[in-house]
Amino acid sequence: MDKSNKRIVLVTGATGGLGTAMCKKLLKDGFKVVGNYVTPEKAEKWTKQMNDEGFHIDLYKGDVSSYEDAGRMIKEIEEKVGPIDTLVNNAGITRDGRLANMKVEDWHAVINTNLNSVFNCTRQVINGMIERKFGRIINISSVNGQRGQFGQTNYSAAKAGMHGFTKSLAMEVAKHGITVNTISPGYIGTDMVMAVPEKVLTQIVSQVPLGRLGGTHEVAHLVSFLASEETSFITGANYSINGGQHVY
């Protein structure tokens, strides 16, 4: 077990664009970072790239859409590394399509991965946080959970549900020194977004008052801020980081 005094952060969906930036920023800011993955080939490539860049981050395999597998993974992390102080619920997928044509499996896949995973992971760490009188839960939602988006009833429902979870849990655990917050990014320049056709990308950018996509490092900065000791009076909040695309 790690005997250092560094706070331990678990980032789910660590090998994606946002997850990678979060892991790097948290590591730079003095946290002990562990990541979650599901695809071994991607994890192996990711680990090599991170090591080449000087970032040594242990990855643990786990299907966070499964309560049992999330629990197995978290137990392994806490036995090998130590108690999880901060959980970043970042894992997510899309299966877009109009509701009239949506397959049942596409609905359940998105709800399970994007929303049920938040319960599956948080439920496994919350009692330890209560016992230690410290914890940070950070849920990565989306602008489309705030405003809706054509073709994303499954995704928008899951992402909106994340903040409902945040608000209620924040009330339950505030007296135990645990904060629970949501971050709702707009369109961020991940590999997935940058791979869309140029015409579509131009249309997306035209909808953003700042006139550009967000940077993964900008979202990562906000994650690290909320994970810090100094944000103990911020809880139940939903941080929009969307370049002005959706304001209210």
Q: What are 72-107's pLDDT values in tens digits?
A: 999 999 999 999 999 999 999 889 899 999 999 999
pLDDT at 1: 41
155 assigned to active site: yes
Number of compact structural domains in the chain: 1
178 is a domain residue: yes
pLDDT at 192 over 80: no
Q: How far is CA 55 from CA 3, 10, 23, 49, 235, in A?
A: 20, 15, 9, 9, 30
Q: Which residue, 242, 184, 238, is CA-closest to 208?
A: 242
205 is a domain residue: no
201 is a domain residue: no
pLDDT at 4 over 80: no
196 is a domain residue: no
**Residue 42: domain span:** 8-187+215-241
pLDDT at 186 over 50: yes
pLDDT at 112 over 90: yes
pLDDT at 3 over 50: no
* 177-198: average pLDDT: 91
Let me know: does 184 contact 239? Beta carbons within 8 Å. yes
Residue among 37, 60, 67, 155 flagged as catalytic: 155
42 is a domain residue: yes
Mean pLDDT of the chain: 95
* 124-137: average pLDDT: 98
